[in-house]
Chains A and B, each alone.
Chain A
């Protein structure tokens, strides 16, 4: 039997699968609880009609999605900008603010900021592992440099590593800090507040894709809510996570 037609068909199928797998917009939402519902909210927005949209919750999945679709624009936490390969295009806003402060917390009463020397600090992985310490010491300038960063895949893992004594402290958002106070009543201690940290940013890697970011200015409220934002503004200032 001649394998030519079979091979051609297989190639077409492979091409179709590859086409389907590429994305025009990759949203990395580490604080979301479901990729499916957030992806649906974005797909249903008229401004994004016809675009390939991928929502991922973990850094590893984000890195893989961007490797598959290098020309996609990304909506992601600003920590990705520590990697010099990114060009920031838009700044996410929440109720008019373009930044937030995060808290460094511990549940061991004996731990203080200076006492974190040679200890482990946990944070949700939002950039390459190697950039974890740079992000942390940039966000908290008073932290000792001699510490280990433990990236975790999901926000709920932060409370687990704290509770299991796998980390001396963890970086939490305001909402996570409230949840942590409920989880550890009377034990949670805020060691420091971060410098102002940029909210989500829109960025791209491949040249020539920047123009696509303009469609995000037309997003409706449900899609913006899915991204945890209320709007976008032009990106200004230094391309690091803190303004």
Chain B
């Protein structure tokens, strides 16, 4: 560090000696002897959750990295970014990803906190926003004293493949996840709602231990909410989700949610940034990974009504 080096070279005589002592450390930085901070650009909307992740990312990366932020739609931002030479762009939210393509074309991009980023980010990497079924169900198993041998997962046809992968992961944990395809592209919303309502009536006799409510607004929306709520009142098994808003005492719907932890997302992004910058790995080689660290939200009253106890740490 230049400042430390200056203290080590206390000038003892003459202006030339003083100048050498003051300037040599800076020349060393210029010559590459000391490592300058790596520049990282975060492109994000000007909203609290994204600011929280950006701040945590800065803390995770530490002083060897310098974070600059571009807020989506900020006036003059693109001009200022032109002066930076970021090693990696971190795009938060779909808007951040779109903006990053405009301001920093050709640079490696890591994306997070958006929907459908895998599809949207061609040859990219980053962190998914949706918590994986493996994480939801194993965290439920860790937090709630309940059997969890068989779980049903209603889904749209295009989600079946992902759920089959999740079923494979969960099989190693002794949990059987069964995807139930209720609708496909082209189905009218009324048919989807009717199929869901019919299926929910069959759950009670299925022998399942829980239902994984999908984070899919084609299946969970204002039209289908009454059927979900009726099922939650009728069923003797918990509904589990990745959406915190669905664990609401007034709603009376889901008993448990595992949602992404902002600090955890930042930690995963920091590891990916380091892999790109320090190990030279392209974002595409890293791919997208689901959140590892999650926040757990429980409706204790609902769990008690279902006869399920919460394991205290």
Contacts and interface: CB of A to CB of B under 8 A. Distances in A.
Contacts of A163: 134-135, 138, 169, 172-173
Interface in A197-224: none
Contacts of B172: 107, 163, 184, 187
Interface in A109-155: 129, 148, 150-154
Interface stretch (B11-19, B95-103, B192-200, B287-295): B287-295
B62 interface: yes
A164 B132 contact: yes
A157 B292 contact: yes
- Counting chain B CB atoms within 10 Å of each CB, which of A64, A129, A164 scores highest? A164
B309 interface: no
Contacts of A153: 263-264, 267, 293
Contacts of B169: 163-165
A182 to B, nearest CB: 9
Interface residues of A, number: 27
A152 B271 CA distance: 9
Nearest to B279: A148
Contacts of A160: 134-135, 138, 292-293
A60 B293 CA distance: 15
A25 interface: no
Nearest to B59: A60
B174 interface: yes
A183 B62 contact: no
Nearest to A32: B313
B274 interface: yes
A150 B62 contact: no
A100 to B, nearest CB: 22
Main secondary structure of the interface of B (DSSP, over half): helix
13 contacts: A60-B59, A60-B267, A63-B62, A64-B59, A107-B172, A151-B271, A152-B267, A154-B293, A156-B142, A160-B292, A164-B169, A184-B172, A187-B173
Interface string B115-157: 0000000000000000010110010001000000000000000
Contact of B173 (A33, A151, A184): A184
Interface string B263-300: 11001000100110001000000000110110000000
Contacts of B173: 163, 183-185, 187
B275 to A, nearest CB: 8
B134 A164 contact: yes
B60 interface: yes
A66 interface: no
B interface, how many residues as a size bin? Answer: 20 to 34
Interface string B69-106: 00000000000000000000000000000000000000
Nearest to B313: A33
Contacts of A129: 271, 274
Contacts of A11: none
A164 B271 contact: no
A85 to B, nearest CB: 13
A64 B56 CA distance: 12
Sort A-B residue pairs by CB-CB distance and give the 9 closest, nearest first. A187-B172, A33-B313, A160-B292, A163-B134, A157-B292, A185-B174, A184-B172, A107-B172, A153-B267
A107 B168 CA distance: 12
A129 B62 CA distance: 11
Interface in A155-210: 156-157, 159-161, 163-166, 183-187
A241 B200 CA distance: 56
Contacts of A148: 275, 279
Contacts of B62: 63
A206 to B, nearest CB: 15
B60 A60 contact: yes
A183 B138 contact: yes
- Counting chain A CB atoms within 10 Å of each CB, which of B138, B263, B292 scores highest? B292
Nearest to B267: A153
Nearest to A64: B59
Contacts of B290: 164
A34 B59 CA distance: 21
Contacts of A151: 271
B70 to A, nearest CB: 25
Given A184-B173, A185-B174, A164 B292 contact: yes
B289 A164 contact: yes
A160 B132 CA distance: 10
Given A163-B173, A166-B289, 8 more contacts: A33-B313, A129-B271, A148-B279, A153-B264, A159-B138, A164-B134, A185-B174, A187-B172
